């Protein structure tokens, strides 16, 4: 009964999202097309299935497009044998994906919301992550990619708004990737699908329809475990990932009006993360601020701060700063108070620079 209720609630709360669908394009490979984030994900999945006959997409409701429409049209093009629904069982979805990948296939599993990845935690942590190690590299499930919509959505409450990325960053054998927008999402997802390691790919559902960019129509991949310096600056280094990057960019623009030069870095991959890029930036600026939606305690921002303090202690001109979600369940009515907003980040920038 409890399982049925949570599934029903999930669909009712997000029924209004079942609108636009993504479709293919007749653009030439060199052209770019305006895409929002869910369309870029759809385009990446289409390419992955088209270029590799061993690739399969499966999960709850994916055959009709899923609640966010990211898999729309795929079953019409590639058939029910390669794009198919699964039972409402996250443990079963990931367990099936492990077996499929272990046989040399590309298993692209969708967890409908990252909040419901926890029933599959044992399969991800104790099976997928350890598969290669326990066999001495004689066999692996490196073709497994687990897609998860994560983070705030504006009305999700504590069952549809969580950011659980830090749980998986503690596990050797996994990679954890979070794109910030459509162009990044397509290139990073294709890189994940083709990477020889099991990967958890978190998609910022807040941006599925809000973020629109010119995305190359061609097949391309972006490097994993390589951070990107989005803005260069001299006074403070800001580090984030996923949906939080757009919030931090707005704070950087406002800080510049007050004469503060901010360097903004998108980690993109959390495990293994690009320490060298962040270290080089902090050695230049002498200050570090990390921001993410997940709760403060035990969030991946703590790992970034600890590592940089170890590497750059004598170059720091102020304590490292974290602007994160609160150590509470994700609230519905009080979401604006929970979120690490532009103004919270801006206040932290000023306090750190003026320390």
324 and 178 share one domain: no
Q: Examine residue 158 and state whether it is found in any structural domain, yes or no.
A: yes
Q: Specify whether the backbone of 36 is left (phi greater than 0), alpha (psi in -120 to 50) or beta.
A: beta
CA distances (Å), origin 61, targets 42, 88, 181: 15, 9, 24
CATH for 234 = 3.40.50.920
For residue 154, what pLDDT is reported?
84
Chosen domain end from 216, 250, 282: 216
Domain boundary residue among 172, 187, 216? Answer: 216
Domain membership flag for residue 221: no
Q: Please give the model's pTM, rounded to 2 decimal places.
A: 0.91
- CA-CA distance, 161 to 285, in Å (whole number)? 33
Q: What is the pLDDT of residues 115-139, one digit of tens each?
A: 999 999 999 999 999 999 999 999 9
The answer to whether residues 105 and 254 belong to one domain is no
pLDDT of amino acid 302? 98
Distance (Å, rounded) from C-alpha 299 to C-alpha 167?
9
Identify the domain containing residue 344 by its residue range: 228-353
Per-residue pLDDT of the chain (355 residues; tens, 9 = 90+): 444 444 444 443 433 333 333 333 444 556 899 999 999 999 999 999 999 999 999 999 999 999 999 999 999 999 999 999 999 999 999 999 999 999 999 999 999 999 999 999 999 999 999 999 999 999 999 999 999 999 998 888 999 999 999 999 999 999 999 999 999 999 999 999 999 999 999 999 999 999 999 999 999 999 999 999 999 999 999 999 999 999 999 999 999 999 999 999 999 999 999 999 999 999 999 999 999 999 999 999 999 999 999 999 999 999 999 999 999 999 999 999 999 999 999 999 999 999 9
> What is the domain count for the chain?
2
Q: What are the φ and ψ backbone dihedral angles of 315, each rounded to 5 degrees?
A: -100, -10
Helix (H, G, I), strand (E, B) or coil at 323: strand
Q: Are residues 179 and 262 in the same domain?
A: no
Q: What local confidence, expressed as pLDDT, does residue 13 receive?
A: 40
162, 195, 216 - which closes a domain:
216
pLDDT tens per residue across span 236-285: 999 999 999 999 999 999 999 999 999 999 999 999 999 999 999 999 99
List the catalytic residues.
90, 160
């Amino acid at each position: 009964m409890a399982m049925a209720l949570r599934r029903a609630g999930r669909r009712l709360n997000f029924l209004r999202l079942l609108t636009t669908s993504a479709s293919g394009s007749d653009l030439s490979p060199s052209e770019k097309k305006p895409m929002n984030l869910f369309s870029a994900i759809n385009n990446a999945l289409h390419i992955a299935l088209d270029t590799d006959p061993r690739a399969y997409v499966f999960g709850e409701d994916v055959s009709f497009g899923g609640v966010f429409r990211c898999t729309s049209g795929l079953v019409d093009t590639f058939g029910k044998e390669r794009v198919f629904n699964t039972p409402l069982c996250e443990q079963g979805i990931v367990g099936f994906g492990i077996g499929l990948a272990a046989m040399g296939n590309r298993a692209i599993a969708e967890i409908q919301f990252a909040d419901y990845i926890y029933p599959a935690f044992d399969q991800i942590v104790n099976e997928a992550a350890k598969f290669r190690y326990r066999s001495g590299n004689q066999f692996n499930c490196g073709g497994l990619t687990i897609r998860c919509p994560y983070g705030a959505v504006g009305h999700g409450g504590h069952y549809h708004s969580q950011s659980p990325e830090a749980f998986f960053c503690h596990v050797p054998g996994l990679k954890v990737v979070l794109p910030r927008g459509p162009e990044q999402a397509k290139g990073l997802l294709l890189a994940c699908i083709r990477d020889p390691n099991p990967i958890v790919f978190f998609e910022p559902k807040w941006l599925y329809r809000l973020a629109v960019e010119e995305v190359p129509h061609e097949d391309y991949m972006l490097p994993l475990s390589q951070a990107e310096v989005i803005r260069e600056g001299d006074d403070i280094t800001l580090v984030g990932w996923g949906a939080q990057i757009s919030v931090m960019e707005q704070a950087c623009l406002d800080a510049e009006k007050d004469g503060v030069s901010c360097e903004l870095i998108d980690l993109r991959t959390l495990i293994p993360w690009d320490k060298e890029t962040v270290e080089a930036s902090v050695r230049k600026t002498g200050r570090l601020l990390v921001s993410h939606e997940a709760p403060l305690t035990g969030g991946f921002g703590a790992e970034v701060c600890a590592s940089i303090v170890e590497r750059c202690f004598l170059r720091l001109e102020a304590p490292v700063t974290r602007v994160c979600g609160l150590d509470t369940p994700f609230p519905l009515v009080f979401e604006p108070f929970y979120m690490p907003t532009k103004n919270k980040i801006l206040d932290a920038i000023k306090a750190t620079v003026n320390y």
